[in-house]
Homo-oligomer: A and B are copies of this chain.
C-alpha cells in the first residue's frame, strides 16, 4: 500500500525503473487553477541531471518531461498531473555483467531477498534515477506554493563536502544578498568553491568518495504549518529527507549541536539566534521564522561499482540538493493545503 506515494493532501506517486522505459510522477491533490510553469519544470530537471559539470556522474540523460494529463490551457485542472521522462542512455550492457553479482553497498541483494524477483539493471527503483519523479513533484509543489504563498523561497546548498565545512561568515555572506547555490561548484556557496571542486575531481580520479551535508533554508514560510503529534512539520520533513538514498542523518535547527547545550545558555541568546536554534518551528509547527534543516550523507558506495567505475559521484551532496529542495517543497505544499482544514 502506498509505498510509492508521498504526502497526505498533495500526493506524489512515483513510478519507473532506472533502466526501464520511463520514470514518471502522478501528482494528485494539486488544486485547480494553478498556473503551469513549464520552464520551472525543465530547469528543475536540468538541475537534477548528472553530467552538468566534471564532478557529477557522467551519464548523459536527456530528461525531457512529457505532461500527459492534468494541465489544460496552461493551468492545472484539479485532476491528476502525470508527467513522464523516458530513459535513453541506459547502457544496460554495463549491467548485464553484474546480473548475478550484487553491487557492494547497494540495495540489490536485499531487494532480491525481499521480493524474490528484482531488476538488476542499474538498481531498478533503488537507483538515484528514481529522483526524477521527486523533482517533478517538487516543481508542481513550487507552482502551487507560488500561487498561494509567492514570498516563500527554498534555498538548498552544501554545508559540508568531506572536510570542507561552510563557515558562519560564508553562510552569512551567501544570505546577505539574493543568491543561488547553483552558481557555485558543488553547490558549496563560498569563494573557495573551486578549491572544493578540484579536491572532488581528485577524489574521483583516485576512486574515492566523500560524505557531506546539505542544508535547506526556507524563507517566507507562513506560520501554522504542521500538525500536532504525528505530522509535526519536522516529522514529515524527516521522513521526506530520509527517504532519499544515502542519507544518514536529519537535523532541524540546532540539530545534533543541541545535545551539548544548556537551557540557560540557550535562552540567553538573541531572539534571532533562538529562532535559528529552533529551526523555525515550535511544537512542530512553523512560526513564520526561517525553516532550517540539514541532511547528512554517507560517502557514495558506487566507488566499488564495476559498472560505474570512473564516472561515479565523488560526493552525493551537490546532486542531492535539487532533490531535497523538491521534497521540502512537497511537504510545504502538503501542509499549506492541510492548514485549510484547521478551523471551522
Contact = CB atoms under 8 A, between A and B. Distances in A.
Interface of A: 1-6, 8-9, 11, 13-17, 20-24, 26, 28-29, 31-34, 66-70, 72-73, 75-82, 84, 104-111, 113-119, 124-126, 130, 144, 147-148, 160, 162-163, 203, 206-213, 223-224, 227-232, 234-243, 245, 247-256, 258-264, 266-267, 277, 279, 282-287, 296-301, 303-304, 337-344
A115 B250 contact: no
Shortest Cβ-Cβ A-B pairs, 8 listed: A107-B283, A209-B263, A32-B115, A239-B239, A263-B299, A15-B80, A3-B227, A238-B238
Given A239-B238, A248-B251, A125 B228 contact: yes
Contacts of A279: 248
Given A4-B26, A212-B259, 9 more contacts: A15-B80, A17-B69, A17-B70, A31-B341, A32-B344, A78-B114, A104-B267, A105-B267, A256-B256
Contacts of A73: 117
Contacts of A105: 267, 282
A34 B303 CA distance: 34
Contacts of A1: 1, 8-9, 11, 28-29, 338, 341
Contact of A284 (B211, B236, B243): B243
Nearest to A120: B72
A32 B342 CA distance: 6
Given A78-B343, A264-B303, A285-B114, A230 B9 contact: no
A79 B28 contact: no
Contacts of A206: 264
7 contacts: A2-B28, A5-B230, A15-B82, A20-B72, A207-B264, A239-B242, A248-B256
A238 B235 CA distance: 7
B248 A249 contact: no
A95 B241 CA distance: 37
Contacts of A249: 249-252, 255-256, 258-259
A309 to B, nearest CB: 13
B299 A124 contact: no
A211 B68 CA distance: 34
A343 B329 CA distance: 19
Nearest to A7: B1
Contacts of A342: 31-32, 78, 114-116
Given A208-B262, A248-B253, A229 B3 contact: yes
Between A106, A254, A343, the greatest number of chain B beta carbons within 10 A of the residue's beta carbon is seen for A343
Contact of A259 (B126, B230, B297): B297
Contacts of A118: 32, 72, 77
A239 B74 CA distance: 33
Contacts of A228: 3-4, 79, 107, 111, 125-126
Nearest to A248: B258
A339 B114 contact: yes
